Structure 1
Amino acid sequence: MSALEGLEVRRTTTAQQLADGLSERIMAGAFGPGDRLRESAIAAELGVARNTIREAVRILELTGLVRYEVNRGAVVIAPTNEKIDALYTARERLETAALARTPSPEQLQALTEAFAQLEEAATSNDRNAIVDRDLAFHQRIVELLDSSRLDEFFAGLTQELRFYLTVLAKEETPDQVIAEHRAILDPIRLGDRDRAVAEVRAHIDTSVQRLKAMLEES
């Protein structure tokens, strides 16, 4: 008897495409915080099997955008101070540890290119592109740790971070985004690790305070 006998290879392409589509709708505000994702209604509207919708929702649950509630099913996450603190503390620990290291020439070049792409996105005033490039810049920072496992861990945080950055992008101007990221990159280029750590910490703390202020107003 083969050790692989009975193993089924399941194609999840359709579910992943649905998860990506639902994620985009959540980011765009089509589903608000606390809204239910009614699997039967979505399946009927899209003409897709309910099991496929369920699988897509589970993918979203893994990204942190959706959670299950008793008697309600899948709902879009509703930001709380505790969730914001937990997510951004994890981000701060990774990025400050990374910036305490001296980047290689290749890593510095990758950071510089990521910043240039963020600047380019900012000139287009495309909010989604700005968020994408923002996350890519910070991914390059985490890569200074030279750990593929930590790279993967941060990548796992990015979907939930994308949700919050999209919220922030509604309030921030492109010039603000560029200025805050240039303040991080400049000391990295100069080899001033202490200042780079201080700048990324200030950047993250500012984001947390803005998110909490917006939460109080809602």
Structure 2
Amino acid sequence: MTALDGLAVRRTTAAQQVADGLSERILAGAFHPGDRLRESAIAAELGIARNTVREAVRLLEHGGLVRFDGNRGAVTVSPTPATVDELYTAREHLESAALATPLTDGQLATVEQAFADFVAAAGTRERADTVAADLAFHASIVATLDNSRIDSFYATLTRELRFYLMALSAHEREDENPSKVVAEHEPLMAAIRAGDAGRAQREARHHIATNAARVQGILANRDGD
């Protein structure tokens, strides 16, 4: 008898597959903040049991994309000034911590590649690709902390933030001016390349604060309509 007796390796469950598919569509903008996820309708359209959909929705709740409303059931999360502030404050703390010391050559190479991927994505003028690559670049900075638990937390944070950015900023049409999107990141990248930790932290804080204010402004305009 060993410590592994009775352990079975299972393939991804149907519920996880449904959750993954719904997550992709939520992040792509097929659903909007506050939209209701009708379990019976989803089950009927996909030809699966409603219990499978219910389990999938619970997985999405754990991932931060869905919450349960007492009157409406499962709905996609909707940003508020408080939640946006919390998201960006968490980003600021993590990215500042990651930039507290100059990056090693290996870390810099990884961040450089993430930045190059972001520049390429911006050039496609595809909003979803640009937002995803932007957040992946910032995730590469946080990854220099070399802590898998922080990486997991940051991934959950940016998943929710990506949804908000896709939903709230569509009218800004940033994808039509990719050079502007990239230029906003250049001072931060220049400081990282220079190995100037203090400057990199200041640029990161400025960048994050500027974008937080932009999202808060979009949210305020939306609520005022």
TM-score with structure 1 setting the length: 0.90
CA distance in 2, matches of 1:5, 1:192: 53
Give the partner amino acid of 1:204.
I
1:202 aligns with 2:206: yes
CA distance in 1, matches of 2:8, 2:109: 44
Alpha-carbon distance change, 119 to 205 in structure 1, aligned in 2, over 3 angstroms: same
- Percent of paired sites with the same residue: 58
Alpha-carbon distance change, 144 to 29 in structure 1, aligned in 2, over 3 angstroms: closer
- Could you list the per-position Cα deviations for residues 138-159 of structure 1 after superposition, in whole angstroms to 9, with x for gaps in the alignment? 1111122222222222122221
Give the partner amino acid of 1:107.
Q
Q: Which residue of 2 aligns with 1:120?
A: 120
Q: Which residue of 1 aligns with 2:82?
A: 82
Alpha-carbon distance change, 118 to 56 in structure 1, aligned in 2, over 3 angstroms: same
Using the TM superposition, give the Cα deviation of residue 10 of structure 1 relative to its aligned residue in structure 2, in angstroms: 6.2
SS of equivalent residue, structure 1 residue 196: helix
Q: How many residues align?
A: 218
1:174 aligns with 2:174: no
SS of equivalent residue, structure 1 residue 75: strand
SS of equivalent residue, structure 2 residue 74: strand
Contact 2:34 2:76 in 1 (8 A): yes
Using the TM superposition, give the Cα deviation of residue 196 of structure 1 relative to its aligned residue in structure 2, in angstroms: 1.0
Unaligned runs of 5+ in 2: none
CA RMSD of aligned residues (A): 2.3
Contact 1:117 1:133 in 2 (8 A): yes
Q: Which residue of 2 aligns with 1:157?
A: 157
Q: Which residue of 1 aligns with 2:67?
A: 67
Using the TM superposition, give the Cα deviation of residue 5 of structure 1 relative to its aligned residue in structure 2, in angstroms: 9.3
What pairs up with 1:28-43 in 2 under 5 angstroms?
28-43=28-43
SS of equivalent residue, structure 1 residue 35: coil
Q: Which residue of 2 aligns with 1:130?
A: 130
CA distance in 1, matches of 2:27, 2:186: 26
1:192 aligns with 2:189: no
Using the TM superposition, give the Cα deviation of residue 8 of structure 1 relative to its aligned residue in structure 2, in angstroms: 8.1
